[in-house]
Homo-oligomer: A and B are copies of this chain.
Amino acid sequence: MTHAPITHSPQDPIGRIPVEDVSPLVDAGRRPAKSVVDEVFPVTATVFREGHDAVNASVVLTDPDGGRYLTPMECTNEGLNSWRAEVSADRAGWWTYQVEGWSDPYGTWYHDGTIKVNAGVDVDLMLEEGARVLERAIAEVERPSTATEMLAGAVTALRDTRLPPGVRLAAATDPAIRRELHDRPLRDMVSPTPAYALLVERERALSGAWYEIFPRSEGAHIDPETGLWTSGTLRTAADRLPGIAAMGFDVVYLTPIHPIGTTARKGPNNSLNAGPHDPGSPYAIGSPDGGHDAIDPVLGTFEDFDAFVGRAKELGLEVAMDIALQCSPDHPYVQTNPEWFTTRADGTIAYAENPPKKYQDIYPLNFDNDPAGSYAEMRRMIQVWLDHGVRIFRVDNPHTKPVEFWQWLIEDVGRDHPETIWLAEAFTKPAMMHTLGKVGFQQSYTYYAWRHAKWELEEYVRELAGEAASYMRPSFWPTTHDILTPYMQFGGPVAWKLRAALAATLVPTYGIYAGYELIEHVARPGAEEQVDNEKYQYKDRQWFRYEKGGDREGQSLAGYLTRINHIRRAHPSLSWLRNITFHHADDENVMCFSKRRVLPDGTEDTIIVVANLDPYSTRATTVHLDMPALGMDYHEGFVAHDLVTDQSWHWVEHNFVRLGADNEPVHIIHVRRY
């Protein structure tokens, strides 16, 4: 802990051409910036030099095999020496990015030469100096032969004293010449920043539609005579998969499927004393039947699990598994490894508590007594599920375990299985939520459920889509099995449509909890979660009743969700986060934003979302579009095609909208250029 005295300046060399304030930069460059395959993201820096000569800058991406890709940067603010480029990486893996500042001999000559030749100052001298710069550009930079010939022609013209000076100058300042020197520049004094790590992950790490189920509820049914329940199983839950896939979801997320403890088991509505037939909370993990590496025998076997995963895969669904690193007092670890828990002064194992509240059905794990042993066991347990085809883990309460544990685990798994995705359920303070993203979690639940007003949604999404987007990817959930806000309790069907549509379009990953389509809005008194919560009991939703011909046909939002997911799949602009722009709407309850993406083939996909956030009133107002953000000039117009209602309008910069309870609360508009 002591340090050797510093006897000289420990600072890094500034570089011949200073490059400062590189962004993104995660934890001062100590952790990687992240993107997904082909995701375009901005790199910015402050680049400047002494004196009057021209300065320039490039972004260099280096792929996992060491291949270098150079992208020219553009100066976006001369006074502040701000430079910017948009880059993307075309395959997953560990890349690096860096900014190179450099001296631009052609740029210097172009500036001075144009002024001086036009002013008749040092004419022949300046034209000769231009010829020498272009000769260097030919000799020192690899370029196509046609480009070399073009530059050689310019050299000849510069020296052709029969031509008027203006013509000689023009031969070396033509836009085609400038474009060639822009694309394949002559670079002097190249000054690179350190190579910062860029972790490129698969697209699902950024974008996807999730659907959460309690497997034991899917297929569960009650005997009307005895009042006893028969549990659903992995086999019956698999029967629900076609319905989930048909709605267009990408990921089916299962709450824990492990054996459940009986000691201090909770009964319905979190009551302290469970009855003999109460199934218990799947988050009280572990019984004599096994722990986190086992499947509750009530649900089935590993064969059943493999069949479930296989069926999901056939339907285009990935399976996400819940990882809740806590134990019931009946968990095998309590016997085999008591050192993985906290022992109190009286020799007992500490249960969870938030003094003076007690949670006697849960023993928190303590990784500090035996980090090596406990980390290795967690890794072994994860491998069990990796070996059964799981590549997405939803982590329950990661903020109650050491951050360095997650950093180690995610990195270790990623070494062999880089396609693995971890979603952090860190409903806690911003520092923890952000840092879990920085150390490895691919996705994070967010504060979305508690952000309702226009100003707070705009502020929050700007934060998420700004600097934070380089290390934390948001997942928006309007409700979960733990969260049912007053807004959802009392907003009615309009609120449920609105919050799903917003979640699905504001950010690329969103999720809903089974029953969302049935608008299950009744809360347990005094709690902001559902009454008769599935955490403590079975729920048979009788989906067939909402299907065609059923007695509740038309009472489900399944069709609406299907349409939204269809729009998401058809419009790649919605699978990115950093491409969002907010537009002004006069009404403080009407929010308008757009996403635009230029595809590799040069075509564009642009979506505009307009939402009335007030679930109780219809509102008419005017939205004012930032036309350049839509790829248009202010005077242009376009066909606004509402993908929700299939209506079309002619839209320009300022447009009337009317949204709300008596029709649709949200427009999802596809921009169709004339």
Q: How far is the CA of A128 from the CA of B13 in the complex (A)?
A: 56
Q: Is the CB of A429 within 8 A of B27?
A: no
- A30 interface contact, C-beta 8 A: yes
Q: Is the CB of A368 within 8 A of B431?
A: no
Contacts known (A79-B429, A119-B356, A400-B50); A345 close to B10, Cβ less than 8 A:
no
CB nearest to A402 among chain B residues = B50
Contacts known (A121-B356, A431-B46); A9 close to B403, Cβ less than 8 A:
no
Q: Which residues of B contact A537 (CB under 8 A)?
A: none
Contacts known (A1-B192, A197-B11); A6 close to B96, Cβ less than 8 A:
yes
Q: How far is the CA of A28 from the CA of B45 in the complex (A)?
A: 13
Q: Which residues of B contact A94 (CB under 8 A)?
A: 5-10
Q: Is the CB of A344 within 8 A of B129?
A: yes
Interface residues of A in 420-435 (CB under 8 A from B): 429-432, 435
Q: Which residues of B contact A430 (CB under 8 A)?
A: 79-80
- A32 interface contact, C-beta 8 A: yes
Q: Which residues of B contact A62 (CB under 8 A)?
A: 2-3
From B5, B8, B30, B404, contact of A415 by CB (8 A): B8
- A263 interface contact, C-beta 8 A: no
Contacts known (A32-B11, A192-B1, A345-B125); A429 close to B197, Cβ less than 8 A:
no
Q: How far is the CA of A374 from the CA of B351 in the complex (A)?
A: 72
Interface residues of A in 527-562 (CB under 8 A from B): none
CB nearest to A3 among chain B residues = B62
| Interface core residue of A8, A81, A345 (most chain B CB under 10 Å) | A345
Q: Is the CB of A439 within 8 A of B355?
A: no
Q: Which residues of B contact A12 (CB under 8 A)?
A: 27, 30-31
From B3, B344, B411, contact of A96 by CB (8 A): B3
Interface residues of A in 11-67 (CB under 8 A from B): 11-16, 18, 20, 25, 27-32, 46, 48-52, 62, 64-66
Q: How far is the CA of A444 from the CA of B197 in the complex (A)?
A: 35
Q: Which residues of B contact A132 (CB under 8 A)?
A: 345
- A243 interface contact, C-beta 8 A: no
- A174 interface contact, C-beta 8 A: no
Question: In the assembled complex, how far is the CB of residue A416 from the closest CB belonging to chain B, in whole angstroms?
Answer: 11
- A222 interface contact, C-beta 8 A: no
Of A108-116, A140-148, A388-396, A620-628, which stretch is located at the interface?
A: A108-116
Mask, A122-140, CB within 8 Å of B = 1, is 0001001100100000000
- A658 interface contact, C-beta 8 A: no
CB nearest to A399 among chain B residues = B50
CB nearest to A26 among chain B residues = B11
Question: In the assembled complex, how far is the CB of residue A399 from the closest CB belonging to chain B, in whole angstroms?
Answer: 6
Mask, A321-338, CB within 8 Å of B = 1, is 000000000000000000
Q: Which residues of B contact A125 (CB under 8 A)?
A: 344-346
Number of identical monomers bound together in the oligomeric complex = 2
Q: Is the CB of B28 within 8 A of A29?
A: yes
- A354 interface contact, C-beta 8 A: yes
- A189 interface contact, C-beta 8 A: yes
Question: In the assembled complex, how far is the CB of residue A461 from the closest CB belonging to chain B, in whole angstroms?
Answer: 20
Q: Which residues of B contact A345 (CB under 8 A)?
A: 125, 128-129, 132
| Interface core residue of A28, A121, A400, A407 (most chain B CB under 10 Å) | A28
CB nearest to A400 among chain B residues = B51
Question: In the assembled complex, how far is the CB of residue A404 from the closest CB belonging to chain B, in whole angstroms?
Answer: 5
Q: Which residues of B contact A372 (CB under 8 A)?
A: none
Q: How far is the CA of A404 from the CA of B14 in the complex (A)?
A: 6
Q: Which residues of B contact A435 (CB under 8 A)?
A: 14, 18, 20, 48
- A599 interface contact, C-beta 8 A: no
Mask, A374-414, CB within 8 Å of B = 1, is 00000000000000000000000001111110010001001
Q: How far is the CA of A415 from the CA of B12 in the complex (A)?
A: 16
Q: Is the CB of A28 within 8 A of B25?
A: yes
Contacts known (A195-B3, A400-B50, A404-B15); A20 close to B431, Cβ less than 8 A:
yes
Q: Is the CB of A13 within 8 A of B404?
A: yes
Q: How far is the CA of A132 from the CA of B364 in the complex (A)?
A: 22
Q: Is the CB of A111 within 8 A of B355?
A: yes
From B13, B354, B404, B432, contact of A16 by CB (8 A): B404
Q: Which residues of B contact A64 (CB under 8 A)?
A: 5-7
Contacts known (A129-B344, A197-B11, A430-B80); A4 close to B66, Cβ less than 8 A:
yes
Q: Is the CB of B8 within 8 A of A81?
A: no
Q: Which residues of B contact A439 (CB under 8 A)?
A: 11, 14
- A417 interface contact, C-beta 8 A: no
Q: How far is the CA of A480 from the CA of B12 in the complex (A)?
A: 34
Q: How far is the CA of A430 from the CA of B20 in the complex (A)?
A: 12
Q: Which residues of B contact A358 (CB under 8 A)?
A: 121
Question: In the assembled complex, how far is the CB of residue A34 from the closest CB belonging to chain B, in whole angstroms?
Answer: 11
Question: In the assembled complex, how far is the CB of residue A361 from the closest CB belonging to chain B, in whole angstroms?
Answer: 17
Q: Which residues of B contact A190 (CB under 8 A)?
A: 1
- A91 interface contact, C-beta 8 A: no
Q: Which residues of B contact A65 (CB under 8 A)?
A: 5
Mask, A72-103, CB within 8 Å of B = 1, is 00000001110000000000001110000000
Ranked nearest first, the 6 interchain pairs of A and B with the lowest CB-CB distance are A28-B28, A6-B94, A115-B355, A11-B31, A119-B356, A81-B431
Complex A-B: 5 CB contacts under 8 Å: A1-B192, A6-B94, A20-B435, A46-B431, A51-B400
